[in-house]
Amino acid sequence: MAAVNINQEQFNRLIAGEKPVLVDFWAPWCTYCRRISDAYDRIAQEYADRLEVVKVNIDDNEALAIQEKIEIIPTLVIYRGGKAAASIVAPESKAMIEGFIGDLLPQEEEKESRQVHDMVIVGGGPGGYTAALYAARSGLDTLVIEKLSAGGQMAQTHQIDNYPGFEEGIDGYELAGRMQRQAHRFGAKTVYAEVDRIDLAPDVKRLETSEGIFYGKTVVLAMGASPRPLGVEKEQELTGRGVAYCAACDGMMYKGKTVVVVGGGNSAAADAMILSRIAKKVILVHRRDTLRATKVYHDPLKKAENIEFRWNSVVKEIEHDDRVTGVRLKNVVSGEEETVACDGVFVSVGRKPASQLAQGQLELDESGYIAADETTQTSLPGVYAVGDVRTKALRQVVTAVADGAMAVHMAEEYLAGK
């Protein structure tokens, strides 16, 4: 059973009861809220006998959100005895949600599956689910291990216009769901879990996860990449209190306010355009004197009346009290510094590969991406890297999809040789 939405009256009644209550404060326009929905619904099913698991739409229950001091979504709160006992903002995996409630509700003993799958895919983005589709359709016993929901970073994109076959574009979350359902149609299975460790060297690879231990004859690594932080003092502490990394996810929290976007690539340009339709003013800060973003963004950015540019500038400090109040900028040419008042800072300075599981086992490039050419083969036999986590010139949905198909082709040749 999926988690149900409740209103303030139902909220008051539930938290006054004896059973602990887990509440997800969310909104329909929040892409990250949608991303956690599959994992959250599974929590509702698995913990139904011990925990009330519900949701509150903050658009429909604004007074309740203010009352509970919800400043960023999704925020999950556990209530006991009528009071908030603990909270977590934007959990990154089902395992993180389970860990959050673990002190309250002890976890079950670790499970170990003795089944050896033909292919285990780590990551449910476009590369991962394309691999799952091709593998399952070819008759391979296929398992996808995804920590949160289908789609990866793609699921946070409201409009994808450059994926073939959708002349009007398509919502990234919807496209992710379609990819997952298509793979499942041919027999692929999904486990929502966080992978803690992989032993990739043996013929049968071993994967230790938050949901138990799994085995695979081949492994496809499709963990993607995540936003790269600025690296300035207090950045992490201020995340959720004025520092954000996804305009599509958190932009509506800054309606009518002044925000700073840091970066000069496509992500920064797209974030600035999204925020220009929401915020009163957008200040785009870039360390060079021109954008690195593709030309398609340049004219719209310059024509937007509420976008200002700070060229040749870097963020030296984020100013704050309880929340972000401004940024201290330094001009890298003149050395001059200035303070710019703002309500929020959106960091768009690139991505870092989620290749930690491969460290010490596979060859990585100087930036930490898994070394694999267009065949997707890594430095170990039977192990393949697809999508944003591998070394490549272009990281797009369409290139990730191509990687997924290629990985299965190479894996079938490998298995045939075995």
Q: How do residues 44-53 score in pLDDT, each as one tens digit?
A: 998 988 899 9
Q: Decide if pLDDT at 158 tops 80.
A: no
Q: What is the CATH number of the domain that holds 98?
A: 3.40.30.10
Does 275 share its domain with 375? no
Does 308 share its domain with 291? yes
User: Residue 264: inside a domain, yes or no?
Assistant: yes
DSSP letter at 239 equals B
Mean pLDDT, rounded, of the chain: 92
Asked whether 344 and 240 are in contact (CB, 8 A), the reply is no
For the segment 332-346, the average pLDDT, to the nearest whole number, is: 96
User: Residue 335: inside a domain, yes or no?
Assistant: yes
Asked whether 131 and 121 are in contact (CB, 8 A), the reply is yes
Does 199 share its domain with 338? no
Asked whether 401 and 186 are in contact (CB, 8 A), the reply is no
Interatomic CA distance for residues 131 and 124, integer angstroms: 10
Interatomic CA distance for residues 128 and 214, integer angstroms: 17
pLDDT, residue 338, reads 96
Q: What is the CATH number of the domain that holds 304?
A: 3.50.50.60
Does 218 share its domain with 356? yes
For the segment 359-383, the average pLDDT, to the nearest whole number, is: 96
Q: How far is CA 192 from the centre of its chain?
A: 14
For the segment 99-118, the average pLDDT, to the nearest whole number, is: 74
Residue type, 242: G
| The one catalytic residue among 24, 118, 250, 271 | 250
For the segment 81-98, the average pLDDT, to the nearest whole number, is: 90
- Flag the least confident range among 58-62, 86-90, 194-198: 86-90
User: Residue 234: inside a domain, yes or no?
Assistant: no
Does 133 share its domain with 194? yes
Q: Return the residue matching tokens 């797009």.
A: 396
Residue pLDDT, tens place only, 276-295: 999 999 999 999 999 989 88
Residue after which a domain boundary falls, among 293, 314, 347: 347
Does 73 share its domain with 167? no
Q: Decide if pLDDT at 109 tops 60.
A: no
Query: Which candidate, 87, 92, 31, places its Cα nearest to that of 253?
Result: 31
Does 331 share its domain with 365? no
For the segment 133-161, the average pLDDT, to the nearest whole number, is: 91
Q: Is 246 a catalytic residue?
A: yes
Q: What tokens appear for 347 in the block?
A: 């960091």
- What is the band of 112 on the pLDDT scale with cuts at 50, 70, 90? low
For the segment 112-133, the average pLDDT, to the nearest whole number, is: 93
Asked whether 215 and 205 are in contact (CB, 8 A), the reply is yes
Does 370 share its domain with 303? no
Does 88 share its domain with 119? no
Q: Give CA angle at 96 (352, 220), nearest 5°.
A: 50
User: Residue 235: inside a domain, yes or no?
Assistant: no
Interatomic CA distance for residues 139 and 186, integer angstroms: 8
Q: Decide if pLDDT at 397 tops 60.
A: yes
Residue after which a domain boundary falls, among 347, 370, 395: 347
Asked whether 181 and 150 are in contact (CB, 8 A), the reply is no
User: Residue 107: inside a domain, yes or no?
Assistant: no
Q: Decide if pLDDT at 121 tops 90.
A: yes
| The one catalytic residue among 30, 33, 246, 342 | 246
Residue after which a domain boundary falls, among 74, 102, 130: 102
Pure H helices in 186-239: none
| The one catalytic residue among 24, 30, 118, 249 | 249
> What are residue 390's phi and psi, to 5 degrees?
-100, 160
User: Residue 310: inside a domain, yes or no?
Assistant: yes
Q: What tokens appear for 128 in the block?
A: 């991962």
Interatomic CA distance for residues 293 and 97, integer angstroms: 36
Query: Which candidate, 116, 112, 114, 111, places its Cα nearest to that of 141?
Result: 116
Q: Is 30 a catalytic residue?
A: no
Does 18 share its domain with 38? yes
- Collapsing DSSP to helix, strand or coil, 416 comes out as helix
Interatomic CA distance for residues 126 and 402, integer angstroms: 9
What is the reported pTM?
0.79
Residue pLDDT, tens place only, 221-259: 999 998 889 999 989 888 878 998 888 767 888 999 999
User: Residue 232: inside a domain, yes or no?
Assistant: no
Which element (helix H / strand E) includes 33?
A: helix 31-35
User: Residue 358: inside a domain, yes or no?
Assistant: yes
Q: What tokens appear for 110 in the block?
A: 């670790």
Burial of residue 45 (number of CB atoms within 10 Å: 0-12, 13-18, 19+): exposed
Does 214 share its domain with 360? yes
Does 122 share its domain with 215? yes
pLDDT, residue 106, reads 57
DSSP letter at 370 equals B
pLDDT, residue 387, reads 96
First to last CA, the chain: 43
Q: What tokens appear for 91 in the block?
A: 């959990």
Which domain does 402 fall in, by range?
Answer: 112-226+351-417
- What is the band of 322 on the pLDDT scale with cuts at 50, 70, 90? confident
Residue pLDDT, tens place only, 24-33: 999 988 878 8
- Collapsing DSSP to helix, strand or coil, 399 comes out as helix
Count: domains in the chain:
3
